[in-house]
Chains A and B, each alone.
Chain A
């Protein structure tokens, strides 16, 4: 191999061809013309990613736990055994607690059909807040389905492959969902992309008395075009977050609020994909109806 040879000069036709290919892909992807071949490519890549998902659990454990265990082992073998048993029980208790919370969430709204899914990875691009789950179109997951956790709304299915799906989080800059404030009952559109993972609730009526710590829930309102119905496909009254700060100016027609998500996305392990629910009937607002 001759390194100097590779550095000798840049082949500009090669550079132009690569950029042309990138922009061509960008064009056909943003215009929605990217078809099945890329889905076929995404599936094995995402599925293989799942094989590595166990590695992250080791990272998320407290760093001093292993050191503490090693010290106990050196001091008293008996105590070490008890500690290990204790740790297993704590792990089991945490799993139990998580499952109970999920069960309670399911019991609170039993009319929705849900598919549980494990998180197998996060998107490699930090500009996007999205995650990958181990359930795909083979499990009945479809684009637009809402995703929730025990504590509230997580996001929406953005893309599916046969065995995995990409979830766009509600804190992503591309996410906009119709919500309602639980006390003032004012509605607005919640958008992600705020600094520090916070979200912004816009288009709130200026007359509404919005207060800090007020709970924000999904409104369940949808549009009427197929695109609107897919984009706003959220059942009502799922907790989304709480109001941190209200920004109100008499010079504006609407007020806005900064919202903290109810779910700690970094601590998520299991989510529920809502595969079916009865949407709110908005036909009464249609002038063509008698």
Chain B
């Protein structure tokens, strides 16, 4: 994991988990609840690669499961699956492109959603009737959010690192 990722992952994911339960769960875009932890984790994986994305996915998934009545580990496994689905194309990503981040964001979100349903079914949990009908708008909304967050993470980190070099 990169040095910045070492410091950031826990406070960022904790803050997102708090905001998710208290704020984002009330926000509905196209009838879909935005899952901030999922969006930020996939955006982080886009920028920092699969290894670091997997670590974020594991931690973020645990926080999602800790704050819901689902079994522990399901969201971790599904989110890691989402990052893994993106990983073959991550090396071809450059900061200026738009289409590839969009495509990878959609792929990661879709894999996460399907993985959640699959792992919950395997664990013997009932799946809501509208889980699959909500798939398309969920993927659309999350994909549209992942790209600007990906650019934001890039820009913030470049600025942060440039400032650090000047100090040294």
Task: Please report the total number of B residues contacting A with Cβ < 8 Å.
Answer: 71
Residues B70 and A194 in contact, CB atoms below 8 Å apart: no
Kindly name the residue among A10, A41, A48, A120 whose own CB sees the greatest number of chain B CB atoms within 10 A. A10
Q: Please choose the segment from A11-19, A78-86, A231-239 that sits at the chain B interface, where 4 or more of its residues have CB less than 8 A away.
A: A11-19
Closest to A5 in B: B2
Q: Does A67 contact B (CB under 8 A)?
A: no
Q: Does B90 contact A (CB under 8 A)?
A: yes
Other-chain contact of B90, A7, A128, A196 (Cβ < 8 Å): A7
Other-chain contact of A193, B17, B36, B127 (Cβ < 8 Å): B127
Q: Please choose the segment from B97-105, B130-138, B143-151 that sits at the chain A interface, where 4 or more of its residues have CB less than 8 A away.
A: B130-138
Query: B interface, by DSSP: helix, strand, loop or mixed?
Result: helix
How long is the Cα–Cα vector from A212 to B128 in the complex, in angstroms? 23
List chain B residues, Cβ under 8 A from A282.
none
Produce 1/0 per residue, A30-74, CB < 8 A to B: 100010001001100110111111111001100000000000000
Residues A18 and B18 in contact, CB atoms below 8 Å apart: no
List chain B residues, Cβ under 8 A from A123.
21, 25, 67-70
List chain A residues, Cβ under 8 A from B24.
124
Minimum Cβ distance to chain A for residue B34 (Å): 9
Q: Which residues of B contact A (CB under 8 A)?
A: 1-4, 14, 17-27, 32-33, 35-37, 47-52, 54-55, 57-58, 61-77, 80, 84, 87, 90-91, 116-117, 119-120, 123-131, 133-134, 138, 157, 161
A-B contact pairs, 6 of them (CB 8 A): A1-B2, A6-B1, A18-B80, A22-B77, A125-B65, A166-B68
